[in-house]
Amino acid sequence: MRSLLSKRRYEALAILAFVVFGVIHGQTSEPLMGLTAEKGGVIHRLVQNLDGRVTTLLFRLRGPRPAHPDVVVMEIDERGAQRYGLWPWPREVVAKALDQLLDADAKVIGLDIAFSDKSQVNTREQAWLETIQGVEALPPALAPLKAELEQRVRTSPDEVLEAVFKKGGPRIVQGVVPFAAGQASSFTGEQRKVWQAELEGSVISRVPGSVKGSFKELPALDVFPNTGAMAPLPRFAAAGSRLGHFTTVPDSDSTIRRSPLLTHLDEPPGLLPSLALQVVAAQLDAQIVPEVPWKRLEGIRLARAGGDVVIPIEGESPMTLINYPGDANAFQRVSVVDVIDGKFDRAQVAGKAVLVGVTIIGSSGDQRVTPFSEFTAGVYTHASLVSNTLRGDFLSRPEWLNWVEWALMLVLGLAVAVITPRVRNFAGKMLLMVSVIAGFSVLTFVLFTNGLKINWVVPALHLTLTAYGTIFLGYL
């Protein structure tokens, strides 16, 4: 036995290293996101942080590329801030911009904005009107101003915005904000019942059954669970808009790399689609169908007449990886000022998906870290997902990819253990080790550019230590 181990000591070392790092790989491949980031052990957090950095590097090596041409972002930007002040603006201003987009025949408008509170009365305009009304002999030149102020005071900003929502109907997707069990006590029971009633028509409570054409009640799923969601004002929700949540979940290093396209609510019970998912479904004239064959979300199918589109779900989490085209410059953009003034190319938005979001730096706090930028407006994460789906350009990590990584670790580790002792000089041994790791890195990059994300850190560390161990064992 001792003689056999002596002859096969390099192979034994490779197998031992594979077992140790294989276990580490299995225990650290699950992504750590949001509040769960603190639950992982030290090694788990370290591996996930390093893998995240590698993913960012892969994006930058791949470089930016144009987003799908049917995705346009209307920026509530610095130019608008110079005219209307910091966000939030009067709702009649937002209404005018949306009305212009509808008239330009935008197919769907997604709002990365929530309208869950009533507008405040413009006390300044009210005071101006009272002052003018108190003038006994009002100069004729001020008569138009008086009429305009009377109209603005008489008509609430919410009424103006409601009229635009009614005009757009299902062409507009309004944003909602989910809240977890720990936040539920911040809202009254009456308010939560109102929101629950508003969300009833937007949640998915049935999924396809095992028999074609059949349906079954939605099973218990661990899909980004939340208690409920802050819905728009009842008058806005009743206008016929679609509703979608716009919550994002950062990785442990605060970078947004994946998104929950569905969230499981208790109030009302069911799956609520995200803003991006609702926008792309409207753009494709498709129905959202979660694929839940075995009490686990396997994918999201957009069923349509021209052929279904299946959005992949990550193997280790009920999320979808975001395949960022690039930073904001990868998208077609239009300023809200140009839209309001009617100084934009209407063909730029006709028949397209327009996402509306605040890009004013420091105004809304909606700034995110992405692989291409450390300061990106949140609307671009939603726009990236819409672009991915329209182009079919997904970044996926199916469950079977873990087995591929284990197989590569075993085969390459054994190859290093067998070949390294046959190389006589130290420089040759080091060159072999570097070549194997470089080859694995090239494979990782090639698969990444073709839509498959390999976890690089643990396999690369395994190969490195196997090579060093083999070299050290050869000198004993």
Q: Specify the pTM.
A: 0.89
Per the CB < 8 A criterion, the answer to whether 149 and 128 are in contact is: yes
Q: How far is CA 78 from CA 81, 86, 337, 362, 389, in A?
A: 5, 9, 10, 10, 30
pLDDT digits (tens, 9 = 90+) for 346-386: 999 999 999 999 999 876 567 889 999 988 999 999 999 99
At 157, which helix (H) or strand (E)?
A: helix 157-168
* pLDDT at site 1: 46
* pLDDT at site 166: 96
Q: How far is CA 310 from CA 3, 80, 277, 301, 335, in A?
A: 56, 38, 12, 4, 33
* pLDDT at site 476: 57
The beta strands (E) that lie in 184-256 are given as: 206-208, 215-217, 228-230, 242-245
Q: What are phi and psi of 255, to 5 degrees?
A: -90, 140
* pLDDT at site 4: 44
* pLDDT at site 38: 63
pLDDT digits (tens, 9 = 90+) for 216-248: 787 778 889 999 999 999 999 999 999 999 998
DSSP 141: G
* pLDDT at site 421: 87
* Distance (Å, whole) CA 86 – CA 80: 8
Q: How far is CA 265 from CA 119, 121, 229, in A?
A: 28, 34, 8
* pLDDT at site 252: 86
Q: How far is CA 15 from CA 136, 247, 300, 470, in A?
A: 97, 44, 39, 12
> Which residues have C-beta within 8 Å of that of residue 233, sequence separation ≥ 6?
115, 116, 117, 118, 158
* Distance (Å, whole) CA 371 – CA 112: 21
The beta strands (E) that lie in 212-331 are given as: 215-217, 228-230, 242-245, 258-259, 262-266, 269-273, 287-291, 299-303, 309-312, 320-321
Per the CB < 8 A criterion, the answer to whether 341 and 93 are in contact is: no
* Ranges under pLDDT 70 in the chain: 1-7, 34-39, 120-130, 132-134, 136, 142, 145-155, 210-211, 213-214, 363-365, 475-476
